[in-house]
Structure 1
């Protein structure tokens, strides 16, 4: 039976934020730079509900969370400060953090800014530097054969006038570009779970990404870190995860041999096994 996530508005010293809660165990935060979540949850976050009580966070300007009064409030570091305010408001002295793709970017910034607030850090299919110009293997690089189509799909998802069916079709095509076996899309992405893109956050991220490079700060991450990546990741190619691993002292890298950008779906059993082993060590 499909179980919806508990919806809650948290009042913090930095404003009110919408979160979704599911699972039992040590608290773990999941978010993404420009995703807008709802009570149907998220496929990545769902993985951790088997080991943790998961707090899925809509960042500022996403869903029913606070609006940005100034543009800088949509930045990566401001997002981390908002997460810290949420953690404090929930009464946790520390929590785990897991992020996929740009959620992993938030995790890396979180890690070097204040590792003391984290019990562990899990980064999946992400990068510590601007990835679209550093590797032609990335679908966001202009020389990649699918670059133009990916950009067209992203622009479509920013629109507010799409019908629900149109949005599903665009999302389907976009996600299939990042799967090792795209023919398995319907199995990986059940129709019961859906989310949107927070356009204002996406626009700000695209500007911030131009100067994004925190590689020289990764040595400041002192919390135990697990780095996971699909061997054929077309969004944030494997080389970026290898770089992160080489620069974070207490880190482990696991590569999934038959995955693209979604190893938690494409090799779900093996992925969950890695999470359980990692979480078992406290």
Structure 2
């Protein structure tokens, strides 16, 4: 079943959202992914028990365009999410984010915990993860150059669809515990895109991103999940967040890299449902 697409007019502009499932509302987004009616594999994990609101951030899909580059910043994304929540007349919702979506969730929790029921952060960090030599984005990581080449190729204009698909596949396989299972994890039915403008802005913002001293401000129940072998946001950053957020708990998946919700899906669903059901 495809996702229902809606356009939401807010005080900060018009935003494209996709809705699926019934139950308590949960907001899901990613800092530079561009969603459509085919949905998102991470968001699909929550549709059995939640009304999932999947959001295209500013500059993605049919959402409001940015009038200045700083409108691509994480704090502006959080303010946009708040405007969307208010326009939908939702008093409080949960938030779940993976990777940069999880980093956005940390910022959301720091400044708007009172607007959240729960917070779920997967494969993320509260500061610049590239400082870790265990991160594939650190220059000393053995796969750093390969990852950078793939990222730059994905930004290249005029890419044929088959070229883009192969580049995305090669990039994703670098972040899997069992790369040979890629096709099993990622069905071709989900066809989201990447916003190069948002990714480029994030690349500059990441250098000064650090919420570690503000994590104690997150006053909402928080579940942090990370794969033991995560090469993008190494598990040490999840441990750091769990130790600083007052109501946080941590689940480490021993046979996962950056995608525990796919690599150990049953365990992920079980842990997620246990958290939301208290």
Q: Cα distance, 1:279 vs. partner?
A: 1.1
Does residue 1:145 correspond to 2:146, yes or no? Answer: no
SS of 2:129's equivalent?
coil
What's the CA shift string for 1:157-189, capped at 9, x where partnerless? Answer: 223311111111011000000000000001100
What CA deviation, in whole Å up to 9, does each residue of 1:1-28 have, x standing for no partner? xx11111111000000011111111000
Give the secondary-structure state (helix, strand or coil) at the position aligned to 1:68.
coil
Please tell me whether the aligned partners of residues 118 and 223 of structure 1 are also in contact (alpha carbons under 8 angstroms). Answer: yes
Counterparts of 2:78 and 2:66 in 1: how far apart (Å)? 14
- 2:138 & 2:54 partners in 1: Cα distance? 30
Report the alpha carbon displacement of residue 244 of structure 1 after superposing the two structures with TM: 0.5
- The equivalences for 1:9-24 within 5 A come to 9-24=7-22
Say whether 1:185 aligns with 2:182.
Answer: yes
SS class of match (2:45): helix
Counterpart selection for 1:57 from 34, 55, 58:
55
1:244 corresponds, among 241, 244, 250, to: 241
Following superposition, the deviation at residue 194 of structure 1 comes to 1.6
Deviates more, 1:96-105 or 1:65-74: 65-74
* Residue 50 of structure 1: how far off its partner (Å): 1.5
SS of 1:8's equivalent in the other structure is strand
The normalised TM-score by structure 1 is 0.97
SS at match of 2:169: helix
Could you say which residue in structure 1 is the equivalent of 2:112? 114
SS class of match (2:90): coil
1:26 matched residue in structure 2: 24
Preserved CA contact (<8 Å) 1:101 1:125: yes
1:254 aligned to 2:261? Answer: no
> Does the residue aligned with 1:244 lie in a helix, a strand or coil?
helix
C-alpha distance in 2 between matches for 1:194 and 1:98: 20
Residue 215 of structure 1 is matched in structure 2 by 212
Instruction: Name the CA distance, whole Å, in 1 between partners of 2:110 and 2:256.
Output: 28
Question: How far apart, CA to CA, are the structure 1 residues paired with 2:157 and 2:103?
Answer: 26
Structure 2 unaligned spans of 5+: none
Q: What SS does the corresponding residue of 1:77 show, helix, strand or coil?
A: helix
Residue number among 95, 102, 105 corresponding to 2:103 in the alignment:
105
State the alpha-carbon separation in 2 of the partners of residues 160 and 15 from structure 1: 28
How many pairs does the alignment contain?
278
Quote the Cα distance in structure 2 between the aligned partners of 1:165 and 1:55.
30
**Distance in 1 between residues matched to 2:191 and 2:40, nearest whole Å:** 7
Question: Partners of 1:224 and 1:159 in 2: how far apart?
Answer: 41
**1:197-230 deviations in Å (ceiling 9; x for gaps):** 1011011101100111110000000000000000
Which residue, out of 118, 124, 135, partners 2:122? 124
Distance 1:70 1:178 in 2: 33
Unaligned runs of 5+ in 1: none
Counterpart-to-counterpart distance in 1, 2:8 and 2:27: 14
Q: Which residue of 1 aligns with 2:33?
A: 35
Give the match's secondary structure for 1:48.
Answer: coil
Please say if 1:196 is aligned against 2:182. no
Q: Flag as ranges the 4+ runs of structure 1 deviating above 6 A.
A: none
The whole-number CA distance in structure 2 between the counterparts of 1:159 and 1:10 is: 31
